[in-house]
Amino acid sequence: MNTVAYVTVDVFTSERFVGNPLAVIPDARGLSSEAMQKIAAEFGYSETTFVLPPEKSDHTARVRIFTPTAEIPFAGHPNVGTAFVLGQQQGIFGKPTGDRLTFEEDAGLVEVTLLRTDGAVTSTSIRAPASLTIGETIADDLIARCVQIDPRSIRKTTHAPTFASVGLPFAFAELDSLEALGKARPNAAVFAEAAARHKEDKTGFSLFLYLRSAENPWQIRARMFAPLDNVTEDPATGSASAALGAYLTSLLPARDADVKITIEQGVEMGRRSLIGVEVKKTAGTVNEVLLSGSSVHVMRGEVLL
């Protein structure tokens, strides 16, 4: 019987059993795509990562990311957590582990910086692999029916509900109160209707709802739902946070901006997460999006094949 080692970590937290859980297979050599998908489904986390030798020798590793139902080109918390796991190793596929890693992913190259305290990796920062793209707008009524809230609670002062991406597309809508955010409950049938109407999200229809105040516009509270991908609710969604930060920065009237954002997610699930996003805009164009957070080890063991 063959085995493959795994590690699980909670991401975007320094406290065990909160944040967003992630399973990492640090050496996935010999696993087929089918086996990877089965392992990801077995864990049932929002994502599981599989680490392989890089195709180019000057890169660190190739990282494949699977949800319970499909492989995806990029995601935030899997990169932050995978970098944290690999950063504990002395070497990665025969090369010493430095403080800067480069992951090959379907969405492009992901550059990683390991942040250490007394030599130990405490948090990681990644650069989003793709430029900001903004998709079509989405009807208020469709958003409201997806999560069973009053459409009048959707705030459109800054933007109408829309798609945005820095490697993985999400639907975004701003709400007007913590009460409305707390009432959100996904309706899978309406999500299926939304996915049929909007084809931008190939894994279905992933909806990121958020709230912020005029006093602290860069302190954001959020929830994310993707029931068509077997993720009823996600406690921390790094790729969505990065896309939202990039999109909101792009809407600022200033042609140059350097914005630091903190996104709090997962509170309603009892898995509070803190996601850091830094966005740089130069001459009217968002040209850098960094995503950062802490991680903590939870489990390790073997998968029997």
Give the alpha-carbon dihedral of 56, 59, 61, 64, to 10 degrees.
-80
> Which residues does residue 175 pair with via DSSP β-bridges, in sequence order?
154
Nearest of 87, 85, 98, 16 to residue 48 by alpha carbon: 85
Nearest of 125, 28, 8 to residue 76 by alpha carbon: 125
Asked whether the beta carbons of 163 and 169 are under 8 A apart, the reply is yes
Q: Which two tokens stand for residue 230?
A: 């077997």
Nearest of 201, 137, 131, 191 to residue 169 by alpha carbon: 201
CB-based burial, 81-102: b 16+ in 10 Å, e otherwise: bbbbbbbeeeebbeeeeeeebe
Asked whether the beta carbons of 124 and 82 are under 8 A apart, the reply is no
Nearest of 129, 28, 78 to residue 295 by alpha carbon: 78
Collapsing DSSP to helix, strand or coil, 107 comes out as coil
- Catalytic: 104? no
Collapsing DSSP to helix, strand or coil, 156 comes out as coil
Torsion sign, CA atoms 267, 187, 150, 201: positive
Residue type, 277: V
Q: From the candidates 15, 34, 42, 47, give the one annotated as an active-site residue.
A: 47
Show which residues are catalytic: 47
